[in-house]
Amino acid sequence: MSTATESRVRIQKEDFSVTDEIEHMKKVSANIGGIVVFLGTGRESSKGETITKLHFEHYPQMAEKKLEELRQKAIKDFGIIDMSIVHRVGEIDIGENIVLIVACGEHRQEAFKACEWAISELKRTTPIWKRETTSKGDVWVSPTP
């Protein structure tokens, strides 16, 4: 099942295929020499508490706009060829995919820098909020860990 689409920035409820996303990005340019991937997944513990479920909410349209701004800035500032960003919302089980950033460059160095910058900025500036369900109840998580 292919989940890759022409859109380089997506917010969706359904899971995504990391392989499909990478293959889609490889078709962007014959000059791609390095692809760096960040995959965020649901972990089972945080701050000493066991997490049983995650829930992500977002501000529609504004979150997509912010992700596209991050993508464009990464391309411009780091000199990469392209970047895609996919973020899931809704309920997510432990171990499931949450966020994927794929940075493509002529060389690995700019792709690594762009990918690291993009996930940090996404967490800091994008209106997507995480709620963790624990044995003590639901906890809204601050933008940065």
Q: pTM of the prediction?
A: 0.91
62-78 vs 108-125: helix crossing angle, rounded to 10: 150
Residue 77 maps to a domain = yes
Number of domains in the chain: 1
- Give residue-wise pLDDT tens across range 45-66: 988 889 999 999 999 999 999 9
Residue 15 maps to a domain = yes
CA distances from 24 to 18, 102, 116, 123 (A): 10, 10, 21, 24
Residue 4 maps to a domain = no
Q: How many angstroms separate the CA atoms of 6 and 104, rounded?
A: 16
Residue 2 maps to a domain = no
Q: Which of 49, 34, 129 is CA-nearest to residue 94?
A: 49
- pLDDT at residue 144 in the model: 47
Residue 58 maps to a domain = yes
Residue 96 maps to a domain = yes
Domain that includes residue 39, residue range = 9-141
Q: Count Cβ atoms within 10 A of the Cβ of residue 117 and give its class: 0-12 exposed, 13-18 middle, 19 or more buried.
A: middle
Q: How many angstroms separate the CA atoms of 84 and 4, rounded?
A: 10
The CATH number covering residue 95 comes to: 3.90.1170.40
Check whether 5 has a pLDDT greater than 60.
no
Residue 115 maps to a domain = yes
